[in-house]
Amino acid sequence: GNSVTQMEGPVTLSEEAFLTINCTYTATGYPSLFWYVQYPGEGLQLLLKATKADDKGSNKGFEATYRKETTSFHLEKGSVQVSDSAVYFCALSEATGANNLFFGTGTRLTVIP
């Protein structure tokens, strides 16, 4: 079946630190992979996505590369800001778009000044 395993949180970083949040997946076929972000008091927002192996999704300084050989989609950012404090969810979908999403448990990031 389909599942997503995410790095346990919470993660606390100082401003301008490097961020990595690990995500691995199990899926049948060739899923699309996503990172969603949930800021305090707000709904889930799509941060970035990749639809095939070796694709790199990027947005707002965040990047993640679809690694089929390691079934991973780790989220990275070179220099985090206080405004990046949020909960980050890795997710997969069997469809090319964002059909039924299977989510990881989420990783809470807190960035301190």
Partner 1 sequence: EAGVAQSPRYKIIEKRQSVAFWCNPISGHATLYWYQQILGQGPKLLIQFQNNGVVDDSQLPKDRFSAERLKGVDSTLKIQPAKLEDSAVYLCASSLEYNSPLHFGNGTRLTVT
- Of 29, 75, 69, 26, which is closest to residue 50 (Cα–Cα)? 75
Identified binder of partner 1 from the candidate list 42, 69, 70, 113, rule CB under 8 A: 42
- Of 104, 103, 101, 107, which is closest to residue 20 (Cα–Cα)? 107
Interface with partner 1, residue 99, by CB under 8 A: yes
Interface with partner 1, residue 57, by CB under 8 A: no
Interface with partner 1, residue 41, by CB under 8 A: yes
Interface with partner 1, residue 37, by CB under 8 A: no
Interface with partner 1, residue 28, by CB under 8 A: no
Number of residues in contact with partner 1 under rule CB under 8 A = 24
Checking DSSP bridges between strand 56-59 and strand 62-65, what pairing results, if any? antiparallel
19 or 48: CB nearest partner 1: 48
Closest approach of partner 1 to the CB of residue 103, in Å: 3
Tokens at 63, concatenated? 């990047």
Pairwise CA distance, residues 5 & 24, whole Å = 5
Interface with partner 1, residue 33, by CB under 8 A: no
The gap from C-alpha 20 to its chain's centroid, in whole angstroms, comes to 10
Interface with partner 1, residue 1, by CB under 8 A: no
